Structure 1
Amino acid sequence: MRKPAKTFKELIVWQKAHRFVLETYKYTKHFPKHELYGLSSQFRRAAVSIPANIAEGFKKRGVRDTMRFLNISHGSLEECRYYIILAKDLNYGSTDHLNNMIEEVSRLLDGYYKALQNSES
């Protein structure tokens, strides 16, 4: 059995979400200039929100508070899922690597949420 994480940076879900943010920044850097304040900005903000809410929820006192932040994180993840579809449909480049990353983060986030749910009961 794994020792509990002391900081959010030790959470694998946070690590993978952070990598997704870095890849999102690299990917959106090549968007057309007219997307600077549009899709590029929205996509980046939603991506950043995923690990940011995991981090914020990590030190909350109650399990329910932590779960609320994970729920917000998952909402941002779904928003990114749409931006990936939109970017692909706009022919802004291949999104396969982002799709793979977001699927992994989604699975890990689900697992973390369920583990907290089980610890509460």
Structure 2
Amino acid sequence: MANCEVRSYRDLIVWQESMNLAEACYQLTMTFPKEELYGMTSQIRRSAASIPANISECYGREYRAEYIQFLRIAQGSLKELETHLLLSSRPKVKLTDTQTVTPILNQCESVGRLLRALIRSLQNKGSRE
């Protein structure tokens, strides 16, 4: 697939992986207590959905600098998501446990690496033109 032409943001591995991450977050928060619906559940879902949304929004931008800026916003949402996940598994909050959150945090790390690689690639492209 590495040699495939990218015709849409949906062809980007980083978008696909961030969608998988958002889906995992939705599944996780389904186990949270109902009283957290407007609290941590909402925060996790919002930040998780923001990552692929910003990747797709930036894809159509005319200028490389705008594209990179939206990817950086996606990075910020990713860090926000990680913080909410870590907080939700802290012993005094205990909405979930570390064992449940760890695989999702690993997905976060993977998406973060992909975002950084795409940003570097775009920056390097710009420096050669």
Shorter-chain TM-score tier? over 0.9
Moved over 2 A (4+): 1-4
| Pairing 1:9–2:10 present | yes
Task: Using the TM superposition, name which of 90-99 and 100-109 deviates more.
Answer: 90-99
CA positional deviation for 1:2: 3.2
CA positional deviation for 1:3: 4.6
CA distance in 1 between counterparts of 2:26 and 2:82 reads 15
Matched-pair identity in %: 36
Taking only aligned residues, the RMSD between alpha carbons, in angstroms, comes to 1.1
Which has more radius of gyration? 2
Normalization by structure 2: what TM-score?
A: 0.90
Normalization by structure 1: what TM-score?
A: 0.96
CA distance in 2 between counterparts of 1:56 and 1:4 reads 19
CA distance in 1 between counterparts of 2:28 and 2:3 reads 34
Highest RCO, 1 vs 2 (Cα 8 Å, sep ≥ 6)? 1
Alignment counterpart, residue 114 of structure 1, candidates 99, 120, 123: 120
The count of corresponding residues between Structure 1 and Structure 2 is 121
User: Any gaps of 5 or more consecutive residues in structure 2?
Assistant: none
CA positional deviation for 1:84: 1.1
User: Any gaps of 5 or more consecutive residues in structure 1?
Assistant: none
